[in-house]
Amino acid sequence: MDFANSCRNGRQHTQEEFRHIATLNDKYKILLERTKDKNGVFEAEYKYIDELY
């Protein structure tokens, strides 16, 4: 969520930083599947990041 916030505040990020966030998101989705949880806020933030990338 901090990454999405910094993007909204105009901070420029490298391609590698975006890729790192994508990797973390994949791991987080696996965790949510295992625990049968949902996190709509995180999903919305990642959608925003993905659209920027």
Q: How far apart are CA 29 and CA 10, in angstroms?
A: 27
Residue pair 3/17 in contact by the 8 Å Cβ criterion: yes
- Note the pLDDT tens digit of each residue in 7-23: 999 999 999 999 999 99
Mean per-residue pLDDT for 1-7?
96
- Note the pLDDT tens digit of each residue in 20-42: 999 999 999 999 999 999 888 88
Task: Kindly report the average pLDDT of the chain as a whole number.
Answer: 94
Residue 51 pLDDT greater than 90, yes or no: yes
pTM for the whole structure: 0.84
Query: Tell me, what amino acid is at 53?
Result: Y
